[in-house]
Amino acid sequence: MSAPESTRIGYIGLGNMGAPMAKRLLDRPGGLTVFDTRPEAVAPFTDAGASGAASPAELAQTCTLVSVTVLDDAQVEDVVAGPDGLLSTAQPGTVIAIHSTIADTTAVDLAARCAEHGVELVDAPISGGAPGAKNGTLAVMVGATDEAFAKVLEPFGTWAELIVHAGPVGAGTRMKLARNLLHFISFTAATEAQRLAEAAGLDITELGKVVRHTDAITGGAGAIMWRDNTSPLDPDDGWFPVFSHVRALGEKDLTLALDLGERLGVALPLATRALTDLGPGLGVGSGDTARSRSPRSRSPHGQKEHA
């Protein structure tokens, strides 16, 4: 059963992400209680009709569903299990949702401690940034029991557009870490592309416009993330021709970019790795272009060897 709309929700941590998320809970029938160490962060909520708590412990006295959006593992542990934390007063059946990105082991360990009090902890990290929080279009990846997941669906839906049950406690955080792995490797790749463009005499701000425009159309890296496993594909698999085509285009364009980098004296280590790993990563193996540029076919200085 989902949590009834009459459930009073507590929200702890009213920063750049927490404040807009909590704001979208103000109109829920059950009411909202908030806590933050900064009075100036709490004031807009109490002015709008929410209740303010002096501590997590006080908040847990009246709230059986609590969202936590604080900085790091240490703050999460203090809010949940510290001397004045939620567990000191939480009623059995309370659900504590951690939206902060923490270690998956922290989530699992805290969930075990919560269980000793009859409290369920779910790890529910979010993706979508401050704009997603403001617009109510976040994605949330939930590690929880089926029962706890059912309880958070309705309230999470006030600020999230996509709610994924990733698995048991810890799975939400593991999914968020995989998602952010892609995010920051992509950022690093963007800096490599900027170096190449700058060396070629291009305006990298204009390149940025092109990237943002076309990623909004194609979906960026997410456009290839349709498979349900990462095993090599059978040639009869329907995805095989699709990803073989992606590999062919990618190996061609990566080779052209690497050739440009060599002419301009710009090192492109991520592009070099991508040429090697693209086909196998897609499950279709390396193509002729990647094999021809393998380290065994090149000199120590990166130039092709000629017979």
CA dist list (Å): 145 to 7, 33, 113, 172: 19, 25, 15, 11
- Hey, how many other C-beta atoms are within 10 angstroms of the C-beta on 124? 31
Tokens of residue 9, six digits: 């929700």
Tokens of residue 301, six digits: 């200085």
In angstroms, the CA 15 to CA 38 distance is 10
In angstroms, the CA 212 to CA 192 distance is 16
Tokens of residue 159, six digits: 């600020």
> Which of the following is catalytic: 23, 151, 176, 252?
176
In angstroms, the CA 299 to CA 281 distance is 26
Catalytic: 176?
A: yes
In angstroms, the CA 205 to CA 142 distance is 37
Q: Which residue intervals of 219-268 are DSSP H helices? A: 239-264
Positions marked catalytic: 176
